[in-house]
Amino acid sequence: MQISWLLDGWECVIRGLRGGRYFVRPSLVLGLSSLLLTLWLGGAAMAQSGPLVLQRDGRVISLAPYAPNILRVTISTDRAAATSDPGYGFVGKPSATGWTHERDAEGDVFRSARMVVRVSPENPSKDKLPKPMPLDALNSQLRDIYFGGGGGHRQHNDSLVVSTAEGKTLLHMRSWIMSPERPEVAQLDSGKRGYRVAAVFDSRADEHYYGLGQQQKGWMDLRDHQIRCWHDYGAIGGEVVCVPFMVSTRGYGLVWDNPSKTTVDLGFNGQNVWSSEVGDRVSYFVIAGETSDEIYEGYRRLTGVSHMLPRAVYGYIQSKAIYPTQQQILDVAKEYREKKLPLDVVVVDFLNMTRQGEMDLDPRRWPDPAAMNRELHAMDVNTLLSVWPHFSQGTQFYDMLLDKGWLVHTRDGKPDSGGYKDVIGPNIDTTNPEAAKWFWEKIRDRYVNPYGFDYIWLDETEPDVDPAKDVFFIGSGTRFYNVYPLFHTASVYEGFRRDFGDSRRVMILARAAYLGAQRNGTVFWSSDIVSTWDMLKRSIPAGLNFTASGMPYWDTDIAGFFSPSLPADYHAEHKPLIDGSDVRGTIGNYEDYPELFVRWFEWGAFQPVMRAHGERNHNEVWSYGKQAEPILAKYLKLRYQLLPYTYSIAYRSYQTGAPYMRALFMDFPEDPKAANIPDEYMYGPAFLVAPVTEQGATHRPVYLPAGCDWYNYWTNERLHGGQTIVADAPIDTLPLFVKAGSIVPLGSEVQSAQQPQTIASVRVYSGADGKFTLFQDDGNTYQYEKSGGKLTNITWDDAAHQLKHEGAPAWSGTDRSVVTVVTK
């Protein structure tokens, strides 16, 4: 039973009595009054069948459960806004099963088996309200002339506390604000009147925060930082991408339901302040979790799954900016095969067309794309094709798109090219479902069906033309600033699924994201970053926070995209560990670039997707000199050796929503030292990865988290956790450690992830009990969504020194011939 329903009904009765329209016996009125007061004040717990809606002197507070550990909080001065559905990106449905409501002298209590939510009373006593230190009356009167009232700014002291069932406070909202849009924002925000909305939460001194998309400033723990949560290609350090989902070490996740520019101030003056430029309500979700993975399961429930990618995508993707001809693509693939180096995908990058928006391939450079793809497929190599969203004036589709209003445009209807050259043109507005369908059908009919391209690279998905002054089909660019990547990637993903059903998996490469974009078969990359050691160092925490935002698939352009402008007398700070004198035609005077490429490539072997790209003459593993090539080949082969492991932990991400590139806070919540380490992480449950980011370094400190023992992957040396060691790191060695109790399946040597691969060995690292679920399937279809693929559950009993496995057979031969137990 909902209190809002009771109150609305009672108000109708009162209005009827006052208007003389109802004939009700006084005894009935008194009885109804008594019943309502009992329900409202008596404290009896009442089961909920839907949201709890509280009405308070022009304010409406809606509490909508989605699961016993998931609650949506929506607050507004407008009832319709407070009670309407969440915004874009959400697919979960409310469920009030197991929730009850009661009221006592301290306010309303909303409760499930996992969460207790207490909302302060409508008119709390003054001693319960926040207040500054005392100030004398005359001083207050003088100040009030200049600073008091006016401006429409009003802070509402509706306090809300979310606790666990055991009484641990997770989140405490102190107040919220709705104030008129700033004048310059209001001018851009077409449609109904909007507000600037904000909420203020407590920030405990021992609380740490992660996620919120991609920030490339070197931060791991986001505490004591201001996060500008909006897409910004030109941000210092590299592109900012907004995914307004944050995980706290207090045991909760917060999803902020507002797609306009949002600022998040974390930890300043003991508070967290979330504020958005445009909105008509404060709306957010709280997800409680005993583990970080349970929080990600909640995010998955709200915003959708991370589908399995084609198995080929977990191998190696070779790219550069750009391979301009069909012949160059074929030559690169053939050389990988001749050198017996693994490869699965080559990239046909931008500038493949005759004109921007023709959606063609320049026949002078691509005389027979279908034949090219047939030849590549025969080598077990797939293609990733770049398709931009721009349409320049004078191309064959421009007038039609203009007439239909399918181009992103300013308020006066003029297409917005963002100041770029006319040959680039405005973006297609894929927030319009008709335009989105057309865009996919052109990709299908002009690239996929006739030529056989496998995957699509959707670049410029911010969109790169700042939409603040523009109008989308769904509304103003100011109000919906961050959502374009969700719609744009969905246009291709949903088109693929609609036309090909379960027969082929989707892989989309995209430069920006938003809530829910992970369900579109999308890999996100760190954008066009600069090829420097500093950027390598900053990229690691950028990736860790991005995956902590509920987006498991992220990668970098290995060794950066843009070349720095080096002075003529440039020299490395230390003697380069790789001699690049034999590849000056590739590196110019960037003498330590081969070393940077090697270190970045070593790290790339342990990214969710491994992809080399960048503006260089040559960018293949043999391009950086005779000293570099064998090291690069070593890590490329290691990537493929670990495919059974990687593919299995990716399947776990599909099942749970939790990333497999994991910041240390996820797996070691009891170790305070693990809260803010920006350059180490777990790759799945087994591997601790510690990339080398200093030029000339041959050692680096590595913290081994407490609570377990660790093995050096290269030497099998066993080490105790809870200590910092100095790890040897010669140029051919990535510091890599394996957690005791880990089970690591290794595959046979293959040249492509599309080739049959057997389990060559299973390594068991003793010292703790362990378990691992090996996942195998066809690698290409969505059949796993129905059948679950082939699962082999492997367990290790450390006390008995015994390995067991059940389910699908995973290897031929005896266990003794396959299993190696590391005990050193």
Q: Which residues are part of the catalytic machinery?
A: 459, 462, 528
* Bridge partners of residue 115, in order along the sequence: 164
**Residue 526: HSE in the Cβ half-sphere, 13 Å Cα cutoff:** 38
Secondary structure tally for the chain: helices H, strands E: 20, 43
The Cα–Cα gap between 605 and 177 comes to 46
Answer for the pair 335, 622: CB distance below 8 angstroms, yes or no.
Answer: yes
Distance CA 372, CA 137 (A): 83
Q: How crowded is the C-beta side of 430, counted as CA atoms within 13 Å?
A: 29
Partners of 103 in the β-ladder: 108
C-alpha span between 381 and 401 (Å, rounded): 35
Q: How far apart are CA 49 and CA 1, in angstroms?
A: 6
Strands (E), 321-464: 345-348, 382-386, 409-410, 455-458
Residue 764, judged by CB atoms within 10 A of its CB (0-12, 13-18, 19+), counts as buried
DSSP track, 747-765: EPP-S-TTS---EEEEEEE
Both structure tokens of 560: 């950066």
Q: Is the dihedral of CA 200, 202, 205, 210 positive or negative?
A: negative
CA 509 to chain centre: 13
Contacts of 596 (CB under 8 A, 6+ apart): 531, 532, 533, 536, 559, 560, 695
CA gap 379, 334 in Å, rounded: 8
How many other CB atoms are found less than 10 A from the CB of residue 227?
Answer: 24
- Pairing relationship of beta strands 554-555 and 610-612 according to DSSP bridges: unpaired
CB atoms within 10 A of CB 323: 21
* The token pair that represents 96 in the structure block: 């009030």
- Secondary structure, 3-state, 109-125: EEECCCEEEEECCCCCC
Q: At a CB cut-off of 8 Å and minimum separation 6, what does 363 contact?
A: 354
Angle in degrees, 0-180, between the axes of helices 628-641 and 643-656, rounded to the nearest 10: 50
C-alpha span between 227 and 229 (Å, rounded): 6
522 and 490 in contact (C-beta within 8 Å)? no
Cα-based distances in Å from 140 to 129, 132, 146, 478: 18, 12, 10, 38
Compute CA 198 distance to the chain's CA centroid, rounded to the nearest angstrom.
23
Looking at the DSSP bridge assignments, the partners of residue 533 are: none
Backbone phi and psi for residue 168, each to the nearest 5 degrees, phi listed first: -75, 125
Question: Between the CA of residue 284 and those of 199, 246, 267, what are the distances in Å?
Answer: 10, 11, 19
Q: Phi first, then psi: give them for residue 644, nearest 5 degrees.
A: -60, -35
Q: What's the angle, vertex CA 451, arms to CA 347 and CA 614, rounded to 5? A: 10
| Helix 292-303 with 643-656: angle, nearest 10 deg | 70
Strand arrangement of the beta sheet that strand 759-765 belongs to: 743-747, 759-765, 819-822
Q: Under a CB-based contact definition with an 8 Å cutoff, are residues 122 and 57 in contact?
A: yes
Whole-number Å distance between alpha carbons of 820 and 824: 12
Q: Do the Cβ atoms of 686 and 764 come closer than 8 Å?
A: no
